Structures are given as structure tokens and as C-alpha cells.
């Protein structure tokens, strides 16, 4: 171990002597309760144009999938007290049973309820203001019992009133896992801050999952969002970063987000903002004042990754992509926005040989693998994480094709630094509950997962491999993909035998 650390340190020194100017220097533009007998829901056939009087007409922001009407739609109105770390929220969500079977009860994720005193449900009603009394709320699960099942094709609307009291995010040095939700002295992050539906899969039911000790457990149905955030008190210099661009009117911020896995935002009085255009998409970096150079590099690398993955995997669906310097460990992806730990910014050495660049490439790839193509993050985490770790390789291959680390080609460096150094083992297709600790989980799912995809690529060749990935993204866009879909679509592109690879990387 010591020898390796010494070797890596030496290579860093060698590399920093021979490197060209950091890409970050490429001038971005500066800018500033419980019985099964519940009330009968108000049911109606859907989709239909009169489906929801609760929604106001919205402009068409970015390309939208045709079947948007069948997806849930969230209307969130929040009054945010930045100083008190509280939000008072009214949420209306319309939901249509698009499955082929009757749904007897509704299940939603309520992540803020995992924190003691963090979530107070003030009201729960059907859209006609009929209160719902037959429900249970426990941990991150809200279940509403229907007296009549929601039939295929039928829709309904729920209104929830609740108060959030945000937890303090622990200092990264005291943390063992990323904790995006809550506040620090520098920033307040609202992620998974409202009740949301998991996908409902016939034969499986709701893909609600309980938290694990590591990894992410949330499974998201793609939905559209209208969000209004009003500041309770004016906050000098407060800057909001969000999944979508804001229309600001004084203390009120309005957002429209077309089909996405979630809507998140982050607020700070310290953010500096940079932007860079990639085609029709504006990429934003929100970072702290002491990390300007690293903030420029995060922006530039995110823009490069966006341009590359758009070409390789397919169009990016939103008008903005935002990277936010995180006052917590690691990185975390959400639709249209991702967080990147300030630890990576602090360690940035003006070269792409570090985690700032690696994780920017990784998190940007989640816009396709997690965002566009949803998956069961708890039971099949390899399906998005292996693709995003593999995308790091593709990033270096394309953005830095001729770069060397010392005398090493950049890909050799990446593979040693990111994968071989950890001597990863384990089968890649376990759930987040299966592995004996974070490192065995990360090593198998992320690291060996990336190796599996590279081996698959080598077996079928680049042309077939990337055509398959594009097709997989297109066929499963705004849906939930499973491993069986991954392999079924792969088989549409090749008749090769993968039994050797499957035996090496997957459970029998």
C-alpha cells in the first residue's frame, strides 16, 4: 500500500511538470395511520385534456416526450425560511395508473420523514379537498389505502400540506457517506424534499425501497414539475441553483421542469456563478469564492462531458445543466443538477488527473444513466453506476486523447488510479443491501462494473457497442430499465455469446 501511495505521489509530481495549461483556463463567461378501508378516491379516466384543473398552462421549455400526460405531475409551492431552515410546502400531485393491473394502495417516498422532527404532515387530501384518513407514514414510506383500487387508465390527484425542518449536514470529515439533504453554514440543499411516487411495475408493485447503509435506494418515476419557492424573509446575496432555470420576481422563484426524475435546488449566500454554452444548453457552475479555479475546471469538464455524451448517447433534454460545489462528501446526481464535493475542489491541482475531473465526468453521465434511463438504484445499482464509471474512461479517451501522465497514456493512468489500485473484486449485480461495506460495494458495482462494460465493448466492437447504448437510452427514455432490458436490447444489436463475461461478472 505504501509503495503505491509513494508511486502515485511521484507520478503526480512528474505529471505536473509536463502538463499543458489546465482546461479550466478556457475562459468561461462570468456572471454573477391504518385500515384497508379508506375513502374512495375521485377517479376519472385519463389521460384527457381536462385531466387537471390544478395545473396552469405552461410554455414548452425543451423537447418533451410524447407520453408526458401519463406521467405524474407535481405542483410544489414552498415558503422557505433560509435562516430557520424550514419550508412550508403545499404539494399537489396528479397520478395515472398506466399499468395493466388495479392498484389497491398508493405508496410514496417521503425521505424528509427519516429525520426526527424533520417532516410534519399538516394535511392529506384528495383533490376535491376530501381528507384522507386511512394511511400510514413510517420512515420514508407513505401508504394511502384506497377503498376502491385505482384501475388501469384511471387518474387521481392528491394534495399534501407539510412542514420541513432541515437537518444539519455533518462536516465531511465526520461523515461516512454523502448527505446532500439539509444545511451547513455555507449552503442549504433541498433534494428528495417532497413526497414522490416510485414506479409501479405490474407483478412487482411499487418500487419503494428502504434506505441501505450505503448507496442510493430511491427509485423515481419520471414526472413533470412546477415549483414556486418564496423566501419567507429576504436574504442578502442569496443565490439559488436548481434543476431548471428560474423566473424570479422579488422573493419568488418559479420553475418548470419537463419529464425528470426529480426537482432539486440549493441555496447559498456564497455562490459565485459561471456559465458556458454547449449547443442549446447552458452549463452553470456554482462554487464557493475560495475555489474559483476549480469551479472553472468543474464547469469546463461538465461542458466537455455534456457535449461528448450528447454525441455518444443521445440528446440531453433540458435547457440547463448545473454543477454545484457540495459542502458534503463525494458527488450526487439529480436531474439537471449534480453536486461535487468541495474536497475535490480543494485538491484540484490544475490538471485533469484527479477526482474533480473524474467525478464531473461520472456525474454528468448520470443525466443519461439515472436521469433519462431510470433504474432500481437499490436492487440493480450496477445498471447506472457501471455505465457512469465506464463513461469516465470514455471521457478521457475523447477529451484528452493524447495526454500522458508521466510516460503513461492517460487511459492507463485512469485505470490504475481509479480501478486497479483498489484491486476490486466481487460480482457486479448485487443490491445495495448485499455488500459487506461501502468499499466492497463500490469496488464491485462501480469499478468492476466499468471493466465489464469495457470487456463487452471490446467483444462487440465500438460501432455495435455505442449503437446499442444509444438504442438502450432511446428505448428506455423516461422509463425504468432493468438488467433484463439491458441484455434484451443488446441482443437486438448482436448475436454474440456473452456467457464467459456473464460468468466472470454476474451472479449465476
Closest approach, Cβ 388 to Zn ion, in A, equals 5
Closest approach, Cβ 445 to Zn ion, in A, equals 9
Closest approach, Cβ 450 to Zn ion, in A, equals 11
- Cβ contacts of 295 within 8 Å, gap of 6 or more: 272, 274, 285, 286, 287, 288, 325, 345
Closest approach, Cβ 212 to Zn ion, in A, equals 15
Burial of 19 (0-12, 13-18, 19+ CB in 10 A): middle
What are the residue ranges of helices labelled H in 314-399? 342-346, 355-365, 382-399
Closest approach, Cβ 393 to Zn ion, in A, equals 14
Distance (Å, rounded) from C-alpha 224 to C-alpha 7?
49
Q: Which of 207, 208, 210, 216 is nearest to 179 (CA)?
A: 216
Residue 505 contacts residue 456 (beta carbons within 8 Å): no
Residue whose CB is less far from Zn ion, 183 or 261: 261
| DSSP-derived pairing of the beta strands 141-150 and 135-138 | antiparallel
Length of the chain: 508
Residue whose CB is less far from Zn ion, 380 or 385: 385
Tell me the Ramachandran region of residue 461: left when phi exceeds 0, alpha when psi lies from -120 to 50, beta otherwise. Answer: left
The DSSP 8-state label assigned to residue 371 in this structure reads T
Residue whose CB is less far from Zn ion, 256 or 385: 385
Closest approach, Cβ 446 to Zn ion, in A, equals 7
Residue 166's alpha-carbon distances to 74, 78, 211, 365, in angstroms, are 21, 14, 18, 29
Q: What would the grid cell of residue 181 be?
A: 439533504
Residue whose CB is less far from Zn ion, 108 or 388: 388
Closest approach, Cβ 385 to Zn ion, in A, equals 5
Closest approach, Cβ 362 to Zn ion, in A, equals 6
Residue whose CB is less far from Zn ion, 217 or 493: 217
Residue whose CB is less far from Zn ion, 288 or 339: 339
Closest approach, Cβ 496 to Zn ion, in A, equals 28
Q: Which of 432, 507, 482 is nearest to 202 (CA)?
A: 482
- Cβ contacts of 409 within 8 Å, gap of 6 or more: 403
Residue whose CB is less far from Zn ion, 76 or 383: 383
CA dihedral 208→211→215→217, nearest 10 degrees, is 10
Residue whose CB is less far from Zn ion, 146 or 306: 306
Closest approach, Cβ 481 to Zn ion, in A, equals 16
Residue nearest to Zn ion as judged by C-beta position: 388
Q: What would the grid cell of residue 19 be?
A: 502538463
Q: Which of 319, 328, 268, 274 is nearest to 301 (CA)?
A: 274
Q: Count CB atoms within 10 A of the CB of residue 185.
A: 11
Residue whose CB is less far from Zn ion, 156 or 321: 321
Closest approach, Cβ 312 to Zn ion, in A, equals 17
Closest approach, Cβ 194 to Zn ion, in A, equals 23
Contact residues toward Zn ion (CB under 5 A) are: 385, 388
For residue 263, how many C-alpha atoms fall within 13 Å in the half-sphere facing its CB?
27
Residue whose CB is less far from Zn ion, 38 or 426: 426
The residue written with cell numbers 405542483 in the block is 75
Residue whose CB is less far from Zn ion, 442 or 476: 442
Q: Which of 387, 400, 403, 399 is nearest to 452 (CA)?
A: 387
Q: What is the DSSP string of 84-133?
A: TTEEEEEEEEEEE--SSS-EEEEEEE-GGGGSTTSEEEEEEEETTS-B--
Residue whose CB is less far from Zn ion, 145 or 369: 369
Amino acid at each position: 500500500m505504501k509503495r503505491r501511495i509513494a508511486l502515485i505521489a511521484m507520478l503526480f509530481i512528474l505529471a505536473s511538470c509536463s502538463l499543458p495549461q489546465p482546461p479550466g483556463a478556457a475562459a468561461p463567461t462570468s456572471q454573477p395511520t391504518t385500515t384497508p378501508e379508506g375513502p374512495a378516491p375521485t377517479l376519472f379516466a385519463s389521460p384527457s385534456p381536462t385531466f387537471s384543473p390544478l395545473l396552469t398552462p405552461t410554455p414548452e421549455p425543451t423537447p418533451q416526450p410524447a407520453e408526458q400526460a401519463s406521467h405524474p405531475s407535481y405542483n410544489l409551492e414552498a415558503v422557505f425560511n433560509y435562516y430557520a431552515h424550514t419550508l412550508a410546502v403545499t404539494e399537489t400531485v396528479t397520478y395515472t395508473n398506466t399499468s395493466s393491473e388495479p392498484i389497491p394502495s398508493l405508496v410514496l417516498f417521503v425521505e424528509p420523514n427519516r429525520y426526527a422532527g424533520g417532516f410534519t404532515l399538516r394535511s392529506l387530501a384528495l383533490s376535491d379537498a376530501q381528507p384522507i384518513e386511512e394511511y400510514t407514514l413510517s420512515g420514508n414510506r407513505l401508504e394511502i389505502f384506497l377503498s376502491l383500487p385505482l384501475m388501469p387508465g384511471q387518474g387521481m390527484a392528491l394534495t399534501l400540506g407539510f412542514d420541513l425542518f432541515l437537518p444539519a449536514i455533518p462536516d465531511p470529515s465526520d461523515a461516512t457517506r454523502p448527505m446532500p439533504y439539509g444545511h451547513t453554514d455555507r449552503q442549504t440543499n433541498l433534494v428528495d424534499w417532497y413526497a414522490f411516487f416510485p414506479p409501479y411495475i405490474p407483478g412487482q408493485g411499487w418500487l419503494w425501497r428502504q434506505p441501505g447503509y450505503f448507496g442510493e435506494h430511491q427509485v423515481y418515476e419520471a414526472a413533470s414539475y412546477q415549483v414556486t419557492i418564496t423566501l419567507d424573509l429576504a436574504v442578502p446575496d442569496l443565490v439559488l441553483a436548481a434543476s431548471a432555470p428560474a423566473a424570479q420576481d422579488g422573493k419568488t422563484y418559479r420553475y418548470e421542469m419537463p419529464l425528470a426524475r426529480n426537482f432539486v435546488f440549493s441555496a447559498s449566500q456564497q455562490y459565485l456563478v459561471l456559465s458556458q454554452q454547449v449547443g442549446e444548453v447552458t452549463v452553470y457552475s456554482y462554487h464557493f469564492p475560495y475555489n474559483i479555479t476549480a469551479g472553472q475546471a468543474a464547469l469546463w469538464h461538465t461542458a466537455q462531458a455534456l457535449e461528448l455524451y450528447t454525441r455518444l448517447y443521445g440528446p440531453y433534454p433540458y435547457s440547463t445543466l448545473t454543477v454545484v460545489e457540495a459542502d458534503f462528501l463525494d458527488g450526487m446526481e439529480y436531474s439537471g443538477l449534480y453536486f461535487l464535493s468541495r474536497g475535490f475542489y480543494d485538491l484540484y491541482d490544475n490538471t485533469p488527473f484527479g477526482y474533480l475531473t473524474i467525478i464531473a465526468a461520472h456525474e454528468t453521465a448520470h443525466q443519461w444513466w439515472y436521469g433519462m434511463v431510470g433504474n432500481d438504484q437499490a436492487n440493480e445499482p450496477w445498471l447506472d453506476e457501471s455505465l457512469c464509471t465506464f463513461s469516465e474512461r470514455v471521457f478521457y479517451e475523447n477529451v484528452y486523447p493524447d495526454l500522458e501522465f508521466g510516460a503513461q497514456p492517460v487511459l492507463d493512468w485512469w485505470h490504475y488510479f481509479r480501478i486497479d489500485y483498489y484491486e476490486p473484486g466481487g460480482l457486479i449485480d448485487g443490491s445495495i443491501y448485499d455488500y459487506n461495506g461501502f468499499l466492497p460495494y463500490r469496488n464491485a458495482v462501480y469499478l468492476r462494473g466499468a471493466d465489464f462494460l469495457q470487456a463487452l465493448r471490446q467483444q462487440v466492437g465500438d460501432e455495435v457497442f455505442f449503437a446499442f447504448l444509444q438504442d438502450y437510452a432511446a428505448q428506455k427514455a423516461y422509463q425504468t430499465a432493468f438488467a433484463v432490458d439491458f441484455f434484451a436490447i443488446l441482443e437486438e444489436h448482436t448475436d454474440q455469446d456473452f456467457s464467459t463475461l456473464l460468468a466472470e461478472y454476474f451472479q449465476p
